[in-house]
């Protein structure tokens, strides 16, 4: 949470997110707005993650459901095995979504390393091509598994596709925000050589 808050604070200072995230508290010199925003987002994601933790393959049998105490707090969210098995497992979905974002970040970092060191005087094939190249390929394979596993029936099929959908929506939102923010500031969206 501390790392996320500091990164959000830095992005606010650089006007990559709304600038109120780039403000430090006057007394404690902490990015309180970023901390609270991430706390609220994490709480919402946590509630969503555990809301259908017994969906899909983790659905309990009808006998197990019948053996539960019958009260409003103890049986909330449990219906029948078939209905619960038809729902995606929310905990797995959130985990896969988070991992997909991590794979994208590391793949971009490896690609950036390859491009940044290309044609430099301190270029080393092992350190600047082979190692990040392996990392790039490994992350792309991990991301491709989200599409490959449902096609070949490996594991579940709902959760990886739902994670891709969530990632796509988040990516589209980020792209729209970036384009609008760049136009508002009068900055070019793409770098051009002069």
pLDDT tens for 11-45 read 888 877 888 888 888 898 888 888 888 899 889 98
For residue 46, pLDDT beyond 80: yes
**pLDDT value for 128:** 92
Residues 6+ away with beta carbon under 8 Å from 31: 5, 6, 8, 9, 12, 21, 22, 23, 24, 25
Q: Does this model's pTM top 0.85? A: no
Q: How many Å separate Cα 157 from the centre of its chain?
A: 19
74-84 per-position pLDDT tens digit: 666 677 888 88
**pLDDT value for 134:** 96
| Residue 19: C-alpha distances to residues 10, 22, 39, 134 (Å) | 10, 5, 18, 37
Question: What is the mean pLDDT of the segment spanning 139-159?
Answer: 86
174-186 per-position pLDDT tens digit: 889 888 888 888 8
**pLDDT value for 75:** 62
**Nearest by Cα to 34 from 43, 25, 46:** 25
**pLDDT value for 163:** 92
89-137 per-position pLDDT tens digit: 888 899 999 999 889 989 999 999 999 999 899 999 999 999 999 999 9
**Nearest by Cα to 155 from 80, 81, 96:** 96
**pLDDT value for 33:** 87
């Amino acid at each position: 949470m501390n790392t996320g808050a500091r990164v959000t604070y830095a992005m606010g200072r650089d006007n990559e997110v709304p600038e109120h995230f780039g403000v430090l508290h006057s007394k404690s010199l902490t990015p309180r707005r970023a901390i609270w925003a991430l706390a609220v987002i994490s709480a919402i994601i946590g509630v969503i993650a555990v809301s259908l933790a017994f969906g899909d393959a983790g659905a309990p049998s009808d006998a197990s459901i019948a053996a539960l105490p019958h009260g409003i707090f103890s049986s909330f969210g449990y219906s029948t095995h078939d209905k619960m098995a038809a729902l995606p497992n929310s905990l797995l979905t959130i985990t896969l979504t988070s991992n997909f974002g991590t794979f994208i970040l590391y793949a971009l970092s490896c690609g950036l390393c390859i491009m940044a060191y290309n044609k430099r005087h301190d270029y080393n094939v092992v350190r600047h091509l082979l190692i990040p190249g392996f990392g790039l390929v490994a992350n792309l394979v991990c991301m491709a598994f989200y599409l490959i596993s449902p096609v070949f029936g490996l594991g579940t099929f709902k959760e990886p596709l739902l994670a891709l959908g969530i990632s796509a929506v988040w990516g589209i939102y980020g792209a729209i925000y970036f384009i609008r923010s760049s136009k508002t500031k009068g900055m070019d969206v793409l770098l051009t050589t002069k």
